[in-house]
Amino acid sequence: MLPAPRADLVPNTFDYEMQPLVKATGFREYDARWLFGPEINLLGVQALGLGLGTYIQELGQKRIVVGHDFRAYSLSIKQALTIGLVAAGCEVLDIGLSVSPMAYFAQFDLDAPCVAMVTASHNENGWTGVKMGAQKPLTFGPDEMGRLKEIVLKGEWVQRPGGSVEHVPGVAERYIADAASRANLTRPLKVIAACGNGTAGAFAPEALRRMGVATVIEMDCDLDFTFPKYNPNPEDSVMLHAMADAVRKYGADVALGFDGDGDRCGVVDDEGEEIFADKIGLMLARDLSALHKDATFIVDVKSTGLFATDEVLKANGAKTVYWKTGHSYIKRKTAELGALAGFEKSGHFFFNPPIGRGYDDGLVAAAAILSMLDRNPGKKLSDLKKALPVAYTSLTMSPHCADEEKYGVVDDVVREYTDFANAGGTILGRKITDLVTVNGVRVALEDGSWVLVRASSNKPELVVVVESTQSDDDMRRLFREEVKPRLAKRSQVGAYNQEI
């Protein structure tokens, strides 16, 4: 029997080769992320597989899809995970190299209730992780992750006979065909497919061609797990700037950027301007609410406040619910409320039938965006953007804060803003009208502007977003004169990954 994991093992030692290493901090709110080597070893991944297999058996399941992204170490991690799942008596369906939505698709395609996708998503090389679910199309939330963490760290897994592994061919082709069926374009479009040398490069260009895109220009679509130019993260300014340059160079109608595991989609318009995913979500909500009256949309707390005030949505009878940031939270809320779609500022889009199956898929999002353009043949994407009410929204900025400290820091910030609001405090001369505290704190001001501070769910960071209804300069002041100095008072808060 594999011993219970330890957290104090050091690479290049005898014990490291003989015992599982699993750091508790790797169990996040809705998936798992570790630095491979110093925070988890292969025996630790095997222990994770044993724990996951034991947990899904507790749930009355045993059939599980597994896949892995394109990193130097992901295949070995998936194999270690599979050993643990088999030891727990699970029927493992290995679909090979894949993006996360392909693994979610395979749950439907292969009639498998459970999924374990080995991916670090857009995290830098060195990171690994697993996205898991046991009820399609949902993925684990805090309750499920808490139980899994308990089983793994205490070594409370149960080995069972009857485990098996089947390598299933053909899933990639069926996934591409299914994603492509979500659009049937008649308008000739020139589209940049930007993949940052991540896994999506193997699938996205072909899917876009099958959707009817007249010209697909591949940008960094060759797989290269060293990520030679930048991380495949369409929320990162480096990738967005490269997409903008490509649009201007080729005169493209749009650039679509896919993250490392293909479940997110970033957008740059025909003028080479990035459109954050929440604004794209608002454009899609306008378009779709005209076709589906009285639709409900779910958006995360990082998203623009325009959803709550937009006159087009009101005229179409649409309702918007703000909810916790995180793909698992938005996915679950979208399913719970039977919403037509859910949008997350990081680029996760969730579409329920008839548009999608409820899970986040960068290609299904691309199909929805291209179909919107197809339904507006006389308008460019920049025209649709300019038709939105004006709001100036920042990049997502993330100052370093240790995993062990970030939630305590955010709790303290929530208390501070609550006391400040109750005392009648103002921000840049504006009254505070509302505090949304379902996920950190979103401080709404009387003119519709707002600031947000929350803890990252998958990295040792905080997350900061600000939005102004007044001007770009005012948006920058909200960060530089309000949020940044407030956080700077706390020694646990370090350097930002990017700043406005």
Cα–Cα distance for residue pair 407/480, rounded to 1 Å: 22
Among candidate residues 284, 258, 288, 275, the one with its CA nearest the CA of residue 362: 258
Look up tokens 């929320």; give the residue: 235
121 part of the active site: yes
For 267-273, the CB contacts below 8 A with 24+ separation are 267/234, 267/369, 267/381, 268/192, 268/240, 268/243, 268/244, 269/380, 269/381, 269/382, 269/385, 270/380, 270/381, 270/382, 271/247, 271/382, 272/244, 272/245, 272/247, 272/248, 273/244, 273/382, 273/385
Alpha carbon separation from 444 to 305, 418, 451, 471 (Å, rounded):
9, 12, 7, 16
Cα–Cα distance for residue pair 101/80, rounded to 1 Å: 22
Among candidate residues 272, 274, 275, 228, the one with its CA nearest the CA of residue 249: 272
Among candidate residues 133, 95, 93, the one with its CA nearest the CA of residue 116: 133
The DSSP line for 449-474 is -EEEEEE-SSSSBEEEEEEESS-HHH
Tokens linked to 127:
């990171």
Cα–Cα distance for residue pair 92/137, rounded to 1 Å: 18
Say if residues 245 and 272 touch (Cβ distance below 8 Å): yes
- Helix, strand and coil in the chain, % to nearest 5: 40, 25, 40
Residue 266: which H helix or E strand, with range?
strand 265-268
Tokens linked to 370:
């291209």
Q: Which of 98, 100, 121, 346 is catalytic?
A: 121
Cα–Cα distance for residue pair 436/197, rounded to 1 Å: 38
Active site residues: 121
